[in-house]
Structure 1
C-alpha cells in the first residue's frame, strides 16, 4: 500500500511501490484522503462564508482526489494488480484504517528540505506509532528497491524483533545481510544470536562489530550501509518511547526525516 498526494515527488514513491509489488506478485493499493478546509472565520460570518464557498470546496476536493487517482494509475504502470481507495477526511486516519488490508506501507521521507506533499501529507512520527504495519520509508527520487545487501540495526527490543520478522521476505532474497549491534557487549551477543537465527531461515547473515550508542547511531548505520553498498536498512522504531528517543538522539526521527537509503521500520 502507498499513500498518494499531489506533491511533485509522489510519482516516484508510487513507482517504487509498484516495482516492489511486481517483485512479489502482490496487489498494490493506492490510498488518498483530503479533508475540507476549516473556515478562518468564526460565528455567523464563518457560517456564511462556509455556505458561500461550500460547493466550490467540494468541487476542489473531488478534483484533488481525482488527480491523485490519475497520478497513482499513471505511475503504477501496467503488469501488476492495482486497487484505488479514496475518501473525505483526515489523510492519516484514512490510511491507518485502510492499512488493515496491507502487508507493508511504502511512504516517502519527510525532511525539512523535501518537497511539500500538500494537504494530503501524513505525519510519519504519529503514523509509525499507531498504524500497526511496517513502514518502508524511502528518500526522494528512489524508483526501486535494491536489497541484495541489507543492514539490520539490532537493539534487543520488541520493535527490532518485529522489524526483522516483517522484513523476512526481503532478507531471504538478499545476497548479504549484516546485523549491526547498537550498544554494549550484551547487544553484540544479541546480534550474533539474531544472525544465527536468520541463517537457520536460509538468510546469508553475519554479525557486525557493535556500534557505540553514545555516537550518532543513525549516521553510523547509514555510513556502514553506504560503505557496503547496502540498499536497505531494517530497524525497530521508537524502541525507547518517543520521549526517550528525543533524549537518546532520535534514531527513528533521523531515519524518518533524513535517511538516504530506504528503511523498513516497525513499531
Structure 2
C-alpha cells in the first residue's frame, strides 16, 4: 500500500499535488509514489505510407519525445524537491510509466491507500482531466483532489446524506479520515429529508459506525445550499479535507456532475476533496 501522487509535468501544480500526498503519507506512515504516465510517442502518431508523410511523422515523433522529456523532468524535479525537504523518514519513489494517464492512474488506484490528483484535473481540457474522469466515473475508484493551497493539518469534514456515494467515500477513505483525529459530520437535514429517507442517513448512525472503527466524530447542521455551506464550514474550522460522494455520469468529451458535486469541484478555495462515486 502507498499514497500515489499523479503528476503532469508542471512544476507548480506537481508541487502542490506532492505536498498533499506527502502529508497523507506521513499521517498514515506509508510510502509515497510520484506517478508520471506518458504514452509511447510512436503510438500517438498515425501510420502513413508516403515518403513525404513519413518524414513529417519522424519530425513529429522527435518533437513529442523532447516534450515528454521536459514534462518528465519537471514532474520528477517537483516531486524530489518536496520529498527531499519534508519526507521525514517516509520512503518516496518517482515512477515514470509508459502508458496513458487513464490506464496508469486506474491501475494505481486499485490498491493505493489514496491516489491524489491535482485540483485542476476536475476541469475539462486540463492535462489530467481525462484520467481523473476515468478513474472516478468509469472505473468507480476513489480519488483525492489536492486542495488549492498547501496541505495543512486540521479536522476532516464528511458531507453526509446516507447515499451510496457518500458511504463509499467514507469506507474507502476511512484510514485517512481517522488519521487526522477530529471528524465533523455535516448534513443539511432538510435536503436529506427531501431526497427521501435513506437507511443510515442520520448523522448518529455514521457516528456510531466511526466509533466502532476506533474514531469519534461530532455533527454539524448545515443551512442553505450544501456545497457553499460545506466550503464555509471547512474555511471556518480550518479543515484539511472534505469527504463526499460525487454524482453524475461520464460522457465522451465532457463530464456531467450533479449540482453539489460540480460546485465542490469548481470551488476556487477548498481543502483537499476525498471523493467516490
TM class, shorter-chain normalised?
0.7 to 0.9
Q: Find the residue that maps to 1:110 and give its secondary structure.
A: helix
Residue pairs, 1:59-98, within 5 angstroms: 59-77=66-84, 78=87, 79-98=89-108
Q: CA RMSD in A?
A: 3.4
Report the alpha carbon displacement of residue 41 of structure 1 after superposing the two structures with TM: 11
What is the aligned partner in structure 2 of residue 253 from structure 1? 262
Task: State the aligned residue count.
Answer: 257
Please say if 1:3 is aligned against 2:6.
Answer: yes
CA contact (8 A) 2:9 2:36 kept: no
Is the 8 Å Cα contact of residues 39 and 49 (structure 1) preserved in structure 2?
no
Question: Of 220, 225, 240, which residue of structure 2 is paired with 1:216?
Answer: 225
> Aligned pair in 2 of structure 1 residues 13, 184: CA closer, same or farther (>3 Å)?
closer
Partners in 2 of 1:173 and 1:227 — Cα distance?
A: 21
**TM-score, normalised relative to structure 1:** 0.79
- SS of 1:202 mapped into structure 2: coil
Q: Answer yes or no: is the 8 Å Cα contact 1:110–1:124 preserved in 2.
A: no
Instruction: Report Cα offsets for 1:199-256 as digits up to 9, x if no partner.
Output: 3333221233365xxx532112111222333222111122x5569x95851x223223
SS of 2:9's equivalent? coil
Equivalent residue in structure 2 for 1:137, among 124, 135, 145:
145
Matched, 1:202 2:214: yes
1:119-138 aligned within 5 A = 119=127, 122-138=130-146
Query: What is the TM-score normalised by the length of structure 2?
Result: 0.77
Judged with a 3 Å threshold, the aligned counterparts in structure 2 of structure 1 residues 70 and 131 are, in CA distance, closer, same or farther, namely farther
User: Could you report, residue by residue, the CA deviation over 1:23-76 in whole angstroms, capped at 9, with x for unpaired residues?
Assistant: 222011111122339569987454331023433433442443244223322222
- Per-residue deviation, residues 76-132 of structure 1 (Å, max 9, x unmatched): 22432122221333222222123334111112212899xx96x56655333321345
